[in-house]
Structure 1
Amino acid sequence: MALMAFAGNSVLCRLALGEQAIDAAGFTVIRLLSGIVVLMVIIKLTQPAAFNLKRSITKVNASLTGLKAVKQHWLAPLALFIYAVTFSFAYITLETATGALVLFGMVQLTMIIASLMTGKRLQKLEWLGVMIAFIGLIYLMLPELTTPSLLGFVLMAISGVAWGVYTLAGKGSQKPIQDTCTNFMQTLPFVLLLILFAYPFFNLSAQGVLLAVLSGGIASGVGYSIWYSAVRYITSLQAAVLQLLVPIIAALGGVVFVSEPITLRMLVAAGLILGGIMLVSYASASDSYRTQ
């Protein structure tokens, strides 16, 4: 469900920016604000005892007074904001396929490095699985790849690193919806700064605002909560490789909703990515069994 939300988020972003229905800064602002509203409503309806608006506002005020005031809790919201804003601006100059390749490549690299830094040595099967899955991604995107602009490449690379950091920050989450809501709320200081600098360049339309709301409220707010629920049960490497399924899911969405044909390239790429995921999962499970 989380990966389907990620795929939907990419589609919504490209629809909004590709058709120039909204500018990148405006899309980011509305996306994050709508995520806050939807998550607060969900918590209010499902966990009324956990809903404490005053406490949440206090956390936001702490963020406004400086990052040190929120101690260790600043990392996830900062990573979330950096991911969202660089993602939007990168897609101004990048094609969808090129952007996806850079994004997921950097996510993989970030999370693999994080695994190595924690002392985990990747097995040969895990390395093989990562390579096969990434080859599948390249093969899927190959016909549409273009030489990226330097600025777009750098922005999307930063976005991928930030998303990797955000994912790692959620591995210890025990209250995914509440933690995701808190992360979104604590992006408010950064959102306000973005509004301050980008407001004169806002270009909003009804269609663009609707797409940004859907992206923020459903694909991001709800999707990221589900991701935080799932990611604590898998390894960092598994989380990295699993996200390579997002382009496949997006392609299948095109088959179902836009009547696009199922191509041999799509089937081969899906087989490679799923095969790589299977190898990584098998190796991780075997390692866990041996440890026990």
Structure 2
Amino acid sequence: MRLLSLTALVMIAFAANSVLNRMAVHGAGWGPAFTGVVRLSSGAAVLLVMALGTKGWRGMRMLPSVAGAGVATLFLYIYGFSIASGLIDAGVGALTLFGMVQITMFGGALVLREPISLWRWIGAGLAFAGLAVLLAPGSGGQHLDPLGFGLMALAGVGWGLYSLNGRRAGDPLVASALNFALAVPLALIWLGVARDAGQGAAWGWGPALASGAITSGLGYALWYRVLPQIPASLAAIAQLSVPILAALGGAVLLAETPTLRFWIAAALVLGGIALSLRKNRPKAR
């Protein structure tokens, strides 16, 4: 029950990220690169204080290969996510993001030869059906900006790889702190090339800092703590609840009203997650 509660808390943090970033980039008019720098810097500051306070300087260690993969995939996610947040709705963006996460992590589970139960395959298929219903063309369908969709899909690949890497990262707090801190220089280079600092409304600081320090920094540290305790395939399916939560947040804070199609898709996605949690009964002898 405790593991389930922690996983649910992480999913809420991920959904809040979608809403908060869209508020900063689309609502307040902030540049994606500047939003990414603020998000990474504030997350790094909070995580480093916590990690140093509990582990000390001697405890700030991580294998170079794990750190390199973590920083690269985190920045790939931040880059695609920050730009795409200004181009597509929070719910649809989260749907695209975690659809690609699902594909990436299931692929990783197959590569790692992790056993995947029949119920988990059925649950994943049902959840994917829900995504297809939400994005299918026709009455009530969503039009996706091609660039926004492509960049959000790229972010999904980055996040899926980041999640897989987290299973071998060791201490979750130290790993998250180092990943965020080492990704900041990459974001500053991006900001220097993009030159999008100093634009947008001042209130954008609120959602940008909240996204960085709370729902990203603390949320990702908690995610790295949960990941080693659950299979990669189950982690992928659990994250399919995020688009539903993000769409609800978008409806409340951004006036992005869910349609009947959304609720049908939500039922399929959440039903798929529920089925994936079932265990195969042992065969009778």
Where does residue 113 of structure 2 map in the other structure? 119
Where does residue 192 of structure 1 map in the other structure? 188
Alignment of 1:230-269 (within 5 A): 230-253=226-249, 268-269=264-265
Displacement, 1:176? 1.2
Asked if 1:29 is matched to 2:37, the reply is yes
Where does residue 64 of structure 1 map in the other structure? none
RMSD: 3.0
Where does residue 22 of structure 2 map in the other structure? 14
Where does residue 145 of structure 1 map in the other structure? 142
For residues 198-230 of structure 1, the C-alpha deviation after alignment (integer angstroms, 9 at most, x for no partner) is 236552542122221111000100111111111
CA distance in 1, matches of 2:149, 2:174: 33
Unaligned runs of 5+ in 2: 1-8
Where does residue 223 of structure 2 map in the other structure? 227
CA distance in 2, matches of 1:35, 1:277: 29
Given residue 68 of structure 2, which amino acid in structure 1 is its aligned partner?
W
Displacement, 1:123? 4.3
CA distance in 2, matches of 1:239, 1:200: 35
Aligned pair in 2 of structure 1 residues 200, 108: CA closer, same or farther (>3 Å)? closer
Unaligned runs of 5+ in 1: 60-68
Aligned pair in 2 of structure 1 residues 71, 274: CA closer, same or farther (>3 Å)? closer
Where does residue 63 of structure 1 map in the other structure? none
Displacement, 1:42? 2.6
C-alpha contact (below 8 Å) 2:12/2:245 kept by paired residues: yes
CA distance in 1, matches of 2:184, 2:76: 12
C-alpha contact (below 8 Å) 1:173/1:232 kept by paired residues: no
Where does residue 276 of structure 2 map in the other structure? 280
Aligned residue-pair number: 272
TM-score normalized with structure 2 length: 0.83
Displacement, 1:73? 1.9
C-alpha contact (below 8 Å) 2:30/2:200 kept by paired residues: yes
Aligned pair in 2 of structure 1 residues 21, 51: CA closer, same or farther (>3 Å)? farther
TM-score normalized with structure 1 length: 0.81
CA distance in 2, matches of 1:263, 1:28: 31
Where does residue 165 of structure 1 map in the other structure? 161
Where does residue 208 of structure 1 map in the other structure? 204
Aligned pair in 2 of structure 1 residues 72, 221: CA closer, same or farther (>3 Å)? closer
Aligned pair in 2 of structure 1 residues 191, 251: CA closer, same or farther (>3 Å)? closer
C-alpha contact (below 8 Å) 2:104/2:157 kept by paired residues: yes
For residues 126-147 of structure 1, the C-alpha deviation after alignment (integer angstroms, 9 at most, x for no partner) is 2221111122234356635114
Where does residue 66 of structure 1 map in the other structure? none
C-alpha contact (below 8 Å) 1:98/1:146 kept by paired residues: no
Asked if 1:78 is matched to 2:72, the reply is yes
